[in-house]
Amino acid sequence: MTAADVEPRTTATAGGPVLAGGHSHGLRTGTPPERFTSRDPDAFAVPTGREEEWRFTPLRAIRPLLHPFEPTTEISATVEAPIGVTAESVPSADPRVGRVLQPADRVSALALARTPNAFVVVIPAGVALDEPVVVTGKATPGTTYAHLVIEAGAGSRATVVVEYTGSATVAENVEILVGDGAALEVVTVHNWDGDAIQLAAQSARIGRDGRLDVTSVNLGGKLVRLNPSVRFDGPGGLVRLHGVSFAGAGQHLETRLYVDHGAPECTSDVLYKNALQGEGARTVWIGDVRIRPAAIGTNTFELNRNLVLTDGARADSVPNLEIETGEIAGAGHASATGRFDDLQLFYLQARGIPETEARRLVVRGFFADVVERIAVPDLRERLMRAIESRLEEPA
């Protein structure tokens, strides 16, 4: 297998008026005119692997999640939360469940229909937190559904860190509500043991002038596939979707994001960086951004960069941009996949820095601009150390 198979089906920047489907330089964008969503799992055919949204995912590994099952394990959550925050497990019939999510695939629909419980974190309106809310989920082996709701009331300010540990095969839905004028940061740390499998639909709605930062940190697991999607309920919203992934030998880390600009004067800023090391290391990044006719004044930019550290790894990168109004402030995307730069290594070594330390510096530097955006200093340092320790793994 070659080191870096890049598939940038669209690579240019679009700035002017382009009709729906007109972008992508004559190639199929892969984004249907309107996403099909349903709460009925059987409204979705069982995927075969030929579908656009499944074609990169190793279906054999996730087969248990494609059909209804009785959970054989669960993710137990522990929470550190400042006073004023409520965090509790509730039955899935709770009215706070299902306000955001519109299942867009069979696994998500099955998980919504069948999860017995949901974990709900609420930051009340007007509350500004100095300390982050930390939710640590620990799984024991088995197959299960999970559901997480994070609600930031109007005008609130908070950071919520969600860390996944242990091992299981999980179909999860995450719903994020950002109230009018609220500023919410969500950091999901996928620190699974080596054999875990997680499929998670992360759906967010952002109120007027609300702001949402989501950073996904993918370190562990055999297969982790994240589907973040964002809608704006009013004008003035801002979303920043960020991710760092370190895929080691045999690891499949996939992100398929969808930002749906349907309200005016909103901004989306997408930045994902992946490093790959070892035989069969695999990352997939699909960035779909849609600007609907009503979304005048939209500003969007998305960037994916992949750093291939060894032979035998593969990174796919497909940015898609559909623009249905000419009155936008800006729209663009970029994607680049490259090998480790031997010249950087030479330069650092020529200053006496040993090779392993030089590689650490370069990889740390590669991820720095994403990790530095996380508002929790301890977490930043811990993540960098975790990434560095992944470098020690045999390729």
Partner 1 sequence: MSTLEIRDLHVRVAGDDGAEILKGVDLTVSSGQTHAIMGPNGSGKSTLAYSIAGHPKYTVTQGSVLLDGADVLAMTVDERARAGLFLAMQYPVEVPGVSVSNFLRTAATAVRGEAPKLRTWVREVNDAMGALEMDRSFAERSVNEGFSGGEKKRHEILQMTLLQPKIAILDETASGLDVDALRVVSEGVNRVRNTGIGTLLITHYTRILRYIQPDFVHVFFDGRIVESGGAELAARLEDEGYARFGVNETASA
For the bound state, the minimum distance from the C-beta of residue 371 to partner 1, rounded and expressed in Å, comes to 9
Does 358 interact with partner 1 (rule: CB under 8 A)? yes
Task: Rule CB under 8 A: say whether 61 interacts with partner 1.
Answer: no
Distance of closest approach, residue 360 Cβ to partner 1, in angstroms: 10
Q: Is residue 369 within the footprint of partner 1 (CB under 8 A)? A: yes
Question: What element of type H or E holds 387?
Answer: helix 377-391
Q: Is 36 in the site for partner 1 (CB under 8 A)?
A: no
Q: Are 158 and 152 in contact (CB under 8 A)?
A: yes
Residue 293 vs 338, nearer CB to partner 1: 338
Question: Are the CB atoms for 104 and 129 separated by under 8 Å?
Answer: no
Q: Is residue 381 at the binding interface for partner 1, with CB under 8 A as the rule?
A: no
Q: Contact at 8 Å (CB) between 325 and 296? A: yes
Closest of 259, 239, 84 to residue 156, by C-alpha: 84
Number of H helices and E strands in the chain, helices first, is: 5, 18
Q: Report the residue from 26, 350, 377, 394 that binds partner 1 according to the rule CB under 8 A.
A: 350
Structure tokens at 10: 């669209």
Binds partner 1 (CB under 8 A): choice among 352, 377, 392, 394:
352
- For partner 1, the closer CB: 90 or 345: 345
Q: Does 339 sit near partner 1 (CB under 8 A)?
A: no
Q: Which of 194, 293, 338, 354 binds partner 1 (CB under 8 A)?
A: 354
Rg of the chain on CA atoms, in Å? 20
Per CB under 8 A, the segment of 4-12, 110-118, 259-267, 356-364 that binds partner 1 is 356-364
| CA angle at 376 for the pair 370 and 378, rounded to the nearest 5° | 100
Pick the closest to residue 149 from 85, 223, 236, 208 (CA basis).
85
Q: Considering only 88-96, 103-111, 175-183, 352-360, which stretch makes contact with partner 1 by CB under 8 A? A: 352-360
Tell me how far the alpha carbon of residue 252 is from its chain's centroid: 14
Find the binder of partner 1 among 65, 271, 318, 348 (CB under 8 A). Answer: 348
Interacting span for partner 1 (CB under 8 A) from 29-37, 148-156, 247-255, 367-375: 367-375
Q: Which range of residues in 23-31, 135-143, 158-166, 336-344 is near partner 1 by CB under 8 A?
A: 336-344
Give all strands (DSSP E) within the chain, no chain letters.
75-80, 86-91, 117-123, 133-139, 143-152, 157-166, 169-178, 183-190, 197-206, 211-218, 223-232, 238-247, 252-261, 267-276, 282-291, 299-308, 314-323, 330-339
Binder among 70, 130, 342, 392 for partner 1 (CB under 8 A): 342
362 binds partner 1 (CB under 8 A): yes
Q: Supply the minimum distance, in Å, between the C-beta of residue 345 and partner 1.
A: 8
Strand order in the sheet with 299-308: 75-80, 133-139, 157-166, 183-190, 211-218, 238-247, 267-276, 299-308, 330-339
Residue 366 found at the interface with partner 1 (CB under 8 A): yes
Binding test (CB under 8 A) with partner 1, winner from 355, 378, 381, 393: 355
Contacts (Cβ under 8 Å, ≥6 apart) of 68: 41, 110, 114
Span interacting with partner 1, options 137-145, 168-176, 275-283, 342-350, rule CB under 8 A: 342-350
Pair 319, 350: CB distance under 8 Å: no
Please state at what angle helix 355-371 crosses helix 342-349, rounded to 10 degrees.
Answer: 120
**90 touches partner 1 (CB under 8 A):** no
Nearer to partner 1, 261 or 359 (CB): 359
Of 232 and 272, which has the nearer Cβ to partner 1? Answer: 272
**By C-beta, is 56 or 366 nearer to partner 1?**
366
Q: Which is nearer to partner 1, 11 or 344 (CB)?
A: 344
Contact residues toward partner 1 (CB under 8 A) are 341-344, 346-355, 357-358, 361-362, 364-369
